[in-house]
Amino acid sequence: MIATFRAIVARDLRLALRHGADTLGAVLFFILAGALFPLALGPSPELLRRMAPGVIWVCALLAALLPLDRLFGAELEDGSLDQLLLLGLPPSLVALAKMTAHWLTTGLPLLIAAMPLAVMLGLPFATLPVLLAGLLPGTLILSLLGGMAAAIVLGARRGGVLLPLLVLPLATPGLIFGAAAIDAARTGLPFAPDLELLLAFFAGALPLAPLAAGAGLRAAAE
């Protein structure tokens, strides 16, 4: 069972490597969207520093949405979904494998790209560890919620439009606590409670999102 799980992740990683442009797209969008803020708001370092946590989190949220449409959509279109469901793995584990692949190909690169973006926006170096500590569960949450939503809207006529409408409201708690943690670190306040709430959110999403996604996959195959 674990071997099959790993094989699905490995297959998706290989596909992501072959279609490198699609994979890089999300990261480039993230950096570009972040770079637009100084242009739009003016080069005041104080203003940018204050807005940086929110900018980084919102851009990461939007960038993580980009590849979701194809996460299960491509599998449904070419008939692979049927074969994945017939692997003998519970559908929730198939979904979790796809979510893991999404995190490895989107969440992890975003995490790395967040560092130059943070420096660019003038966040103090001391807050970088807090930024990463928040974005790590944050991107994991985005992969879980995003994969869940992608599985639920799978087969719907306007799935691509529904997807952000479903993910964005669900992801707001992560956004609030994640940005608040960096803000707290910047102003010297305790940031641990915010990170703990973020981890609690992740702990809740980890079992629930794959279950919902599995049901979505079954329904889409019918």
Partner 1 sequence: MRVEEISVFRGERLVLDGVSLAMEAGGALLLTGPNGAGKSTLLRVLAGLRKPDSGQILWHGTDAFEDRSMHARHIAYLGHQEALKPGLTLTENLALFARGRPLIPALEAFDLLELRELPVRLLSAGQKRRAALARVVLADAALWLLDEPSLGLDARAVERLGDALETHRRAGGMVIATTHVPLPLPDADVLALPGAPLEAATGDAWGAGGWA
At 208, which amino acid appears?
Answer: L
Q: Where do we find the tokens 């692979």?
A: 80
Distance CA 80, CA 138 (A): 29
Does residue 70 interact with partner 1 by CB under 8 A?
Answer: no
Of the candidate spans 28-36, 87-95, 142-150, 168-176, the one that interacts with partner 1 by CB under 8 A turns out to be 87-95
Of the candidate spans 42-50, 84-92, 166-174, 200-208, the one that interacts with partner 1 by CB under 8 A turns out to be 84-92
Binding mask 3-42 for partner 1 (x = CB under 8 A): xx--xx--x--xx--xx-----------------------
Q: Which is nearer to partner 1, 15 or 33 (CB)?
A: 15
- Residues 6 or more apart whose Cβ sits within 8 Å of residue 34: 55, 56, 59, 117, 120, 121
At 3, which amino acid appears?
Answer: A
Does residue 54 interact with partner 1 by CB under 8 A?
Answer: no
Helices (H), ranges, 42-158: 45-65, 68-77, 80-85, 91-102, 108-120, 128-152
* Nearest CA among 6, 144, 98, 43 for reference residue 51: 43
Q: How many CB atoms lie within 10 A of CB 36?
A: 11
Of the candidate spans 1-9, 55-63, 130-138, 186-194, the one that interacts with partner 1 by CB under 8 A turns out to be 1-9
Of the candidate spans 59-67, 80-88, 111-119, 168-176, the one that interacts with partner 1 by CB under 8 A turns out to be 80-88
Distance CA 8, CA 3 (A): 9
Residue 63 token pair? 């960038």
Does residue 82 interact with partner 1 by CB under 8 A?
Answer: yes
Say which DSSP state 106 is in: I
Interface with partner 1 (CB under 8 A), residue from 42, 79, 157, 158 = 79
Distance CA 160, CA 36 (A): 25
Does residue 157 interact with partner 1 by CB under 8 A?
Answer: no
Does residue 87 interact with partner 1 by CB under 8 A?
Answer: yes
Interface with partner 1 (CB under 8 A), residue from 2, 88, 157, 188 = 88
Positions touching partner 1 (CB under 8 A) are 3-4, 7-8, 11, 14-15, 18-19, 78-80, 82-83, 85-91, 221-222
